[in-house]
């Protein structure tokens, strides 16, 4: 029975699943995740050209980043829910049934290309700046699928708005019957993602144009702070040994702690000038200290 009523409660009646094609299940979450990846890669390539990072190298890093992000997203989710997957090992590879971690996607999507770029000797700070807008765009678009599906459970809302899921197949259907209108927590995150996107684009193409790499870590820090706060509204994240701190919140804290020294170093090394790439075979963006 619905226990509360929000003035602007939005009823979401859609089946989370769009169609089943053979063994593959197409859901709204999967659709918008795919759209988010495509749009994110497109935007990062545009930004790469704008900030004079070799676009061919950016293509290569994107081809590495997409699968490494998917792997990271799944591995962190499995680790977070090991109590279940430890006894159901075959379920680990069942990606079509859902279960990914956004933090895992970010960390995995960065780690793979970063290792490759370091191995090739490419300009890592510039590459990170090109990646940041695409990462946050992909996350924001992907959250549209979360809103439609009701993928993540959140606390009941005392605010004048909320969401109620009325389709029996929705993961949030029973939750809606029990608590009534609840916070659209992942939608809050979606709006924050697009705000961070605007900030990062402004920094990387303007305010921090001559300080490559810092914009990427601003993205990480602002997203981590936002995710830490939004996680207080979520009910589906595993807790850690720390009191009232969930796995996403712990990851957020670690990301902030590790990012701040990186920002300090990049600021300390001084401004550099982004120079257009004139020798693609070299695979490196030339930077000149001023």
Band of pLDDT at residue 134, cut at 50, 70 and 90: very high
For 92-152, the three-class secondary structure string (H helix, E strand, C coil) is: HHCHHHCCCCHHHHHHHHHHHHHHHHHHHCCCHHHHHHHHHHHHHHHHHHHHHHHHHHCCC
Cα dihedral: 239, 260, 125, 127 (round 10): 30
Crossing angle for the helix pair 214-230 and 185-202, to the nearest 10 degrees: 160
Using DSSP, state whether 159 is helix, strand or coil.
coil
Residue 13 has pLDDT above 80, yes or no: yes
Q: Choose between 73 and 40: higher pLDDT.
A: 40
pTM for this entry: 0.86
Q: How far apart are CA 149 and CA 17, in angstroms?
A: 8
User: Stretch 100-127: mean pLDDT, rounded?
Assistant: 91
Band of pLDDT at residue 97, cut at 50, 70 and 90: low
């Amino acid at each position: 029975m619905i226990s509360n009523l929000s003035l602007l409660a939005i009823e979401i009646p859609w089946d989370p699943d769009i169609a089943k094609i053979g063994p593959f299940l197409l859901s709204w979450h999967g659709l918008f995740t795919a759209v988010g990846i495509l749009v994110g890669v497109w935007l990062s390539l545009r930004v790469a050209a704008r900030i004079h990072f070799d676009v061919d190298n950016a293509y290569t890093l994107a081809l590495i980043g997409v699968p490494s992000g998917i792997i990271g997203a799944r591995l962190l989710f499995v680790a977070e829910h090991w109590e279940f997957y430890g006894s159901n090992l075959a379920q680990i590879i069942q990606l079509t049934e859902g279960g990914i971690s956004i933090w895992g996607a970010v960390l995995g999507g960065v780690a793979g290309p970063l290792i490759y770029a370091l191995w090739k000797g490419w300009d890592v700070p510039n590459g990170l700046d090109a990646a940041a807008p695409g990462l946050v765009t992909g996350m924001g678009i992907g959250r549209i699928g979360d809103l439609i599906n009701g993928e993540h459970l959140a606390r009941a809302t005392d605010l004048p708005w909320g969401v109620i899921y009325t389709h029996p197949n929705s993961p949030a259907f029973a939750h809606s019957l029990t608590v009534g209108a609840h916070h659209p927590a992942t939608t809050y995150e979606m709006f924050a993602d697009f705000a961070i996107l605007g900030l990062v684009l402004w920094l990387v193409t303007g305010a921090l144009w001559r300080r490559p790499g810092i914009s990427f870590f601003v993205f990480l820090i602002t997203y981590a702070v936002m995710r830490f706060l939004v996680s207080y509204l979520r009910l589906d994240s595993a807790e850690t040994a720390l009191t009232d701190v969930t796995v996403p919140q712990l990851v957020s804290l670690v990301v902030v702690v590790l990012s701040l020294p990186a920002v300090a170093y990049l600021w300390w090394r001084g401004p550099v000038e982004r120079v257009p790439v004139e020798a693609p075979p070299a695979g490196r963006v030339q930077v000149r200290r001023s």
